[in-house]
Chains A and B, each alone.
Chain A
């Protein structure tokens, strides 16, 4: 079961209305290496992974939902005061025609989220290596997003998220070592 905590994991501030950045941020909302894909990937892997790393997958998967909420908050704040004309100029005209101001699970190019972004191999090492790669790809995306804006308030939130990807990748690497150690233990009957 999950309990909702009525606050953000880290404060989200933006200093201006910027639908152009909102469009780019969608990559981390409904993209292949985005927060939704991350949360669903890790939580789904728990049922076939050795007991020693279930806790880690549960906790990182849960944290990803907090990040998803931060991205949603950024998009909300960057677009809430935008006129339809401003949205159109930012390349969000097609989005507006279909969804008005609503969020939708799609990437920066407007491609809807799909379960095929997530692999589930059932092999602990294959799954954990996929997780490490996902974190590294998300970290790279955050870096590019940071480079694309001059809004220091927005950058602050994005830097926090970039940092979390680094920590998650580190913890997944440690999980790989835990699995390897366990595999090399001799079993006596």
Chain B
């Protein structure tokens, strides 16, 4: 890969990783505590925030998911670098 990644890239990426971490934790917790209403509310609220953060990241730096779960600009952005181990 050749492009230089900005501070903004790392900031937005980390913001998304933080939200995703909360969601992974709550997912596993809810798997064994399905009746915890407070955790469920936090999960749904964070899922909504996550959607916004992922949208902001993707608008700027390209799709995170494929098979139609993210949009693409022209030319096809998905196969472009950087891949996760390159940043």
Contacts and interface: CB of A to CB of B under 8 A. Distances in A.
Chain A, interface size category, equals: 20 to 34
Contacts of A77: 85
Nearest to A164: B24
B28 A60 contact: yes
B32 A7 contact: no
A89 interface: no
Interface in B10-61: 10, 13-14, 16-17, 20-21, 24-25, 27-29, 31-33
Interface of A: 3-12, 53, 55-56, 59-60, 63, 69, 72-73, 76-77, 167-168, 171, 174-175, 178
Chain B, interface size category, equals: 20 to 34
Contact of A69 (B10, B32, B78, B85): B85
Contacts of B78: 6
B76 interface: no
A6 B64 contact: yes
Contacts of A72: 85
Contacts of B21: 9-10
B67 interface: yes
A56 B31 contact: yes
Given A3-B65, A63-B24, A167-B25, A8 B84 contact: yes
A76 B32 CA distance: 36
A31 B69 CA distance: 34
B65 A4 contact: yes
Contact of A59 (B14, B16, B27, B69): B27
Nearest to B13: A7
Contacts of B10: 11
A73 B83 CA distance: 10
